């Protein structure tokens, strides 16, 4: 890989961390053990992203559909989030990481809400990578809530329907203040986006890995970065237009 390609680090990476349950079954252990192992993988990849110069990393930790899982598994996952943030927050803060959560918080237990709010307050001014944790998040839910909020503004006379455009809608979404993901990584061998960031992934590069999430290493992450660096991102333009624009930039 040439030096120009190696310097093309995605500004924003989104990850669907899939395969915890299957990994545990392969180990002959309960599914819940896989979720604990997945936390260790997440810790490794957060550090790898920060060290690589990624500006924002969004992890799909718990989807709006995950509420339909068995109650024991849901309770375990929520408790795992609480324990993980209690352990990791000091380190993330010391490393300058800014922690944010997106998703519907209405069904979350009060002790988890307290940790979420404390984490966001404590790290709000940190200058480093933004770590976004999607918790109780669904892409369709995000769009519906945004449309409702904009509709309320129209009803109140604060916004005109004629003034609605893509930017207005995008800015009102959960990640409206961050650049759209340049790269989506999904582990576990599945080839779908599972209701994740539906608006934001319009021009994202998709990288699918057969590796189950607990086994996804820093080396695997860097392999995804290397793959991304070789991609030609056209955004609907032709290859000739892209190369022409690059030539103009080089001449400046």
CB 205 within 8 A of CB 182: yes
Whether the CB-CB separation of 16 and 60 falls below 8 Å is answered with yes
- Spatial distance between the Cα atoms of 56 and 101, rounded to a whole number of angstroms: 12
Q: How far apart are CA 78 and CA 160, in angstroms?
A: 40
- Please give the pLDDT value at position 125: 97
Confidence (pLDDT) at 249: 47
Q: Rounded distance, CA 216 to CA 210, Å?
A: 10
- At residue 251, the pLDDT reads 47
98 is in an annotated binding site: no
Q: Is 222 annotated as a binding residue?
A: no
Q: In the annotation, is 2 catalytic?
A: no
Task: Flag whether pLDDT at 250 surpasses 60.
Answer: no
Max CA-CA distance within the chain? 61
CA distance 63 to 195: 8
Instruction: Please tell me which residue, 8 or 130, carries the higher pLDDT value.
Output: 130
Number of neighbours of residue 160 by Cβ within 10 angstroms? 9
State pLDDT tens for residues 152-170. Answer: 999 999 999 999 999 999 9
Q: Which tens digits make up the pLDDT trace of 110-132?
A: 999 999 999 999 999 999 999 99
* Residue 69 among known ligand-binding residues: yes
Residue 132 in 3-state DSSP? strand
Catalytic residue among 2, 18, 104, 195: 18
Is 193 assigned a ligand-binding role in the annotation?
yes
20 is in an annotated binding site: yes
- pLDDT given at position 5: 42
11 annotated ligand-binding residue? no
Dist CA 208 CA 7 (whole Å): 22
All domains in the chain, ordered by first residue: 8-251 (3.40.1180.10)
Express each pLDDT in 190-222 by its tens digit: 999 999 999 999 999 999 999 999 999 999 999
d(Cα 64, Cα 7) in Å, to the nearest integer? Answer: 36
- Please report the pLDDT score of residue 7 as a whole number: 55
Query: How far does Cα 32 stand from its chain's mean position?
Result: 22
Task: Round the average pLDDT of the chain to a whole number and report it.
Answer: 91
66 catalytic per annotation: yes
Separation between Cα atoms, residue 57 and residue 18, nearest integer Å: 16
Name the DSSP letter for residue 204: P
Quick one: pLDDT at residue 233?
80
User: Mean pLDDT lowest for which of 4-8, 74-78, 114-118, 224-228?
Assistant: 4-8
Residue among 51, 66, 182, 215 flagged as catalytic: 66
């Amino acid at each position: 890989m040439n030096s120009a390609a190696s310097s093309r680090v995605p500004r924003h990476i989104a990850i669907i961390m899939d395969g915890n349950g299957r990994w545990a079954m392969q180990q002959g252990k309960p599914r819940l053990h896989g979720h604990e192992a997945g936390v260790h993988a997440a810790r490794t990849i957060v550090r790898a992203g920060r060290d690589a110069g990624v500006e924002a990393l969004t992890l799909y930790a718990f989807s709006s559909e995950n509420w339909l899982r068995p109650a024991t598994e849901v309770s375990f996952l929520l408790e795992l989030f609480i324990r993980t943030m209690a352990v990791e927050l000091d380190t993330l803060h010391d490393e300058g990481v800014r922690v944010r959560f997106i998703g519907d918080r209405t069904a979350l237990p009060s002790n988890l809400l307290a940790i979420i709010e404390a984490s966001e307050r404590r790290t709000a001014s940190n200058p480093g990578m933004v770590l976004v944790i999607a918790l109780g998040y669904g892409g369709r839910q995000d769009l519906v809530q945004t449309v409702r909020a904009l509709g309320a503004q129209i009803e109140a006379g604060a916004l005109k329907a004629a003034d609605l455009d893509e930017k207005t809608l995008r800015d009102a979404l959960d990640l409206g203040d961050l650049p759209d993901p340049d790269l989506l990584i999904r582990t576990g061998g599945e080839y779908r986006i599972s209701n994740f960031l539906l608006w934001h992934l319009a021009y994202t590069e998709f990288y699918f890995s057969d590796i189950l999430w607990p086994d996804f290493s820093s080396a695997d992450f860097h392999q995804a970065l290397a793959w991304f660096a070789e991609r030609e991102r056209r955004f609907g333009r032709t290859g000739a237009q892209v190369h022409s624009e690059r030539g103009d930039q080089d001449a400046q």
